[in-house]
Chains A and B, each alone.
Chain A
Amino acid sequence: MWRLLRSRLRQGYRTSSLPLGPAPLPARFRGRPTLESSKCRDGCRACAEACPTNAISQEPLQIDLGACLFCTLCQEACPEKAIVYHGDHRLAARSRAELLVSDGEASLARALDVKMRSLLGRSLRLRQVSAGGCSGCEAELVATGNVVFDLGRFGIQFVASPRHADGIVITGPVTRNMERALRETYAAVPAPKIVIAVGACAISGGPFAGAEASHDGVPPDLPVDLYVPGCPPHPLTILDGLLRLLGRVQHSAASRSG
């Protein structure tokens, strides 16, 4: 018992002050990119050709954060530094269109409407369904619950049964073999319910877009309320998205450096 208490003192208090304080992310962390299409040379396709997931379109220059793996190969390929990735981890968005980044400032995820916020704002129970996820996103979702990120302090919890849940969190490109289980799980969640797609695979298929045995992310008939991009998204990105969805973090514009 004394040893346990001594260890407890030695291990210390480790819970991060986030999302209120600054994010303790290293210089190499790759968050939100900024684009300056005016720098593009005519006919140059270097960034689009370097991208492993075809996330970049041109004229106008645009990156789909839903397909982006944040590998920064485009940044390396661009001779004019028209694409620069920064340390801003706040990436979640409410719609597919809002994940398309072009010149200018991007907006962050908006909160749910007043009614949903009054229902779920202080207590959100989620059921996770991995549908072809490689366990990267799953591991980061688990990490949001550890002593550092401590999802539980915001009243958010992952539960064992869809019957106990207010919504589902989907990871993976949705394999054919998991589609039925995913739909049945969704159907088992009582209404009103929300759907959250976490990771490039769930949003667009990510590295598995076009794979023969899976879809390219959450089927269009499941209404997604929150998209959390990344491969996998950092736990802080997930946390930020969830808290913004619940209106627990005030809306502010995406900054150039996080």
Chain B
Amino acid sequence: MVERSEEHRASQGSESPGDLVWGKNGLSMALAELPRLPPLRFRGACQRVCRDGGRLLALCVLPPRRGPNAGSPSELVAVLGDDARSRIGLLCMELPETRSYPALTADLPEAQAFERELFEQHGIEPQGHPWLKPLREHADLAPPSKGERTGLRPHPFFRVEGTGIHEVAVGPVHAGVIEPGHFRFQCHGEIVRHLEIQLGYQHRGAESLLLRSLPARRLVVAESIAGDTAVGHALAYCKGIEALSATDVPLYAQAVRGIALELERVANHVGDLGALCNDVGYLPGASWFGRLRGEFLNLLMELSGNRFGRSLLRPGGVRFGLCAEKRKDFLDRLASAERDLKDTAELTFDTPTICSRFEHTGVVTHEVAQTLGLVGPVARASACDRDVRRDHPFGIYRFVHIPVALVDSGDVMARALVRWLETQRSITFLREQLTELPEEVLFVESAPFRAEAVVVSMVEGWRGEIVHIATTDRDGRLAGYKIVDPSFHNWFGLAMALRGDQISDFPLCNKSFNLSYAGHDL
């Protein structure tokens, strides 16, 4: 009955209650609760939620419900975010025997990378996908067996044809000390008509490694997904584990996690401001922001013993706290760094040469940012009002609210300003938390996992929305693990920012996004 009226429902656009189940960030749900829909109805439900202001947070396979040896995955799961109502929608698609289905990307471009990933990893074909190119595997680099399994074949770069069109290839090894990726520009004179970004060089196999490792190793793999986001990814991982084991993290530990997450944000934002200054040859900004980034990393080291906050988090809480004396020292150092930061930022943003290079460069319009489903500061610089800390509050952010920084010009200047605004607001948060930490309880031991459950754990890392999805089997063992780094959504935004701009602006645009290669490649 339901199956027959599928087309009808989709075209009506009304919310059909059985099509998806709503949950919350960091709350586990029974896998059995997830509705299993046929492909067309699944697509209709996704479209409907996204049309009503929702977003696609993730699209991936669900491990076979009958256990790890039950063959290849037969279900897809879509995770949809309804930011306005702070809820997360989940729904499954039963894969037909042909292992192909009508692609979501045609109507929902934000699904493009997810569907390419499905095709590459599992040979599941989204029919009608406009650019079904492998995301991470390279036909010329992969071992022969891999190609047979997934139908991996060489896929050419997109080419612009015409007189005066030329191609520029950069990478994977770049000039600076940064991660590898390949950039293929289609230029007409100095103007970039199209940029294709080919990644995958950093692919290590983080998801499968995490899944088959012991708990101690899982945590360090999570910390190493993107090294500059060690706290963000470790937090997403721990939150997921805690949801599956119904562990209540002490308030003190939640506050310390918040302090670490905001220190990580400030350190990276300040570092980015310095890097932006460096790319336009403004050396005072480059030197001073660069030094000040270190001050925040050093605070993180004071707290955790490591400049990137590694080993601070553990499932159930944190390993280190802050005594009263240390907090006073933190507040002093914070005040001194803030003073120097303000001085440097005011000087930088008042410098006419900076403004002329940052303004109108690498514009991502609000519409493009919405369509591509961009996240984090990059989205907020194009006036996309989204921030997991407010929309899907977790941990300490359920009690303390940080105002969301929005700028609407979508250019390099907007992305720099969002970082500077967020830096100031995070410092205010840090000061508050350091002044009023609750009684010290570092952690509680966590219990065994709930069986046949799924949890979506979201964290607003400094680059944006981090999503981890964990599922357990009938014995309560981890059966599936999906990681979505914010860069996964945002790389395409960089490609669009370059369209119509000069190729010489690429380094500046790239820096204004500062995306993770390893986080994308996993």
Contacts and interface: CB of A to CB of B under 8 A. Distances in A.
A28 B305 contact: yes
Contacts of A231: 220, 224, 306, 310
Interface stretch (B68-76, B150-158, B173-181): B173-181
B51 interface: no
Contacts of B303: 28
A86 to B, nearest CB: 12
B169 interface: no
Given A53-B220, A146-B294, A234-B307, A175 B228 contact: no
Contact of B180 (A4, A146, A178, A212): A178
A61 interface: no
Interface in A132-170: 132-143, 146-148, 158, 160-162
Nearest to A8: B284
Interface string A11-48: 10010000000000110111000000000000000000
Nearest to B343: A7
Contacts of B288: 7, 11
Contacts of A30: 305-306, 311
B307 A72 contact: no
A181 interface: yes
A173 B209 CA distance: 13
A176 B311 contact: no
B137, B226, B308: most-surrounded residue (chain A CB, <10 A): B308
Given A133-B179, A134-B226, A180-B141, A232 B205 contact: no
B225 interface: yes
Given A135-B516, A175-B204, A212-B209, A148 B216 contact: no
Given A11-B343, A133-B227, A213-B205, A208 B284 contact: no
A26 B330 CA distance: 12
Interface in B158-202: 172-173, 175-180, 200-202
Interface stretch (A98-106, A123-131, A218-226): A123-131
B221 to A, nearest CB: 5
A172 B202 contact: yes
Contacts of A201: 224
Nearest to A173: B204
Interface string B205-229: 1101100001011011101111110
A107 interface: no
A128 B287 CA distance: 21
Contacts, number: 188
Contact of A211 (B204, B223, B343, B516): B204
A175 B142 CA distance: 11
Interface residues of A, number: 66
Given A28-B305, A231-B310, A178 B201 contact: yes
A135 B518 contact: yes
B425 interface: no
Interface string B415-441: 000000000000000000000000000
A62 interface: no
A10 B204 contact: no
Given A130-B180, A207-B224, A212 B136 contact: no
B290 A211 contact: no
Nearest to A208: B204
Contact of A134 (B208, B214, B224, B302): B224
Interface in B289-333: 290-291, 294, 298, 301-308, 310-311, 320
Contact of A71 (B143, B178, B203, B311): B311
Nearest to B348: A7
A134 B519 CA distance: 8
A249 interface: no
A3 B351 CA distance: 11
A258 interface: no
B344 interface: yes
A141 B178 CA distance: 10
A206 interface: yes
A255 interface: no
A29 B310 contact: no
Interface string A195-229: 00000010000111011111000000000000000
B209 A69 contact: no
A52 interface: yes
Contacts of B340: 10-11
Contacts of A28: 301-305, 320
Interface in B223-256: 223-228, 230
Contact of A52 (B203, B208, B217): B217
B216 A52 contact: yes
A135 B290 CA distance: 16
A207 B220 contact: yes
B204 A71 contact: no
B308 A232 contact: yes
A29 to B, nearest CB: 6
Nearest to B219: A52
A25 to B, nearest CB: 8
A184 B28 CA distance: 48
Contact of A175 (B203, B227, B304): B203
A7 to B, nearest CB: 5
Interface in B246-293: 271, 284, 287-288, 290-291
Contacts of B310: 69, 71, 231
A130 B306 contact: no
Given A28-B304, A211-B206, A130 B141 contact: no
A3 B305 contact: no
A143 B177 CA distance: 10
Contacts of A161: 175
B347 interface: yes
Given A132-B201, A212-B209, 18 more contacts: A7-B343, A14-B291, A30-B305, A50-B216, A51-B216, A53-B217, A71-B311, A130-B178, A131-B180, A132-B518, A135-B227, A139-B271, A160-B175, A175-B202, A175-B521, A177-B137, A207-B221, A214-B203
24 contacts: A4-B284, A11-B344, A26-B305, A52-B217, A69-B310, A69-B311, A70-B306, A71-B220, A73-B216, A128-B177, A129-B180, A134-B225, A136-B228, A162-B173, A173-B204, A175-B201, A175-B203, A176-B141, A176-B142, A177-B201, A181-B173, A181-B201, A207-B223, A232-B227
Interface of B: 136-138, 141-143, 172-173, 175-180, 200-206, 208-209, 214, 216-217, 219-221, 223-228, 230, 271, 284, 287-288, 290-291, 294, 298, 301-308, 310-311, 320, 340, 343-344, 347, 350, 516-518, 521
List the 7 shortest-distance A-B pairs measured between CB atoms, nearest first: A136-B227, A134-B227, A160-B175, A28-B305, A213-B205, A52-B216, A212-B205
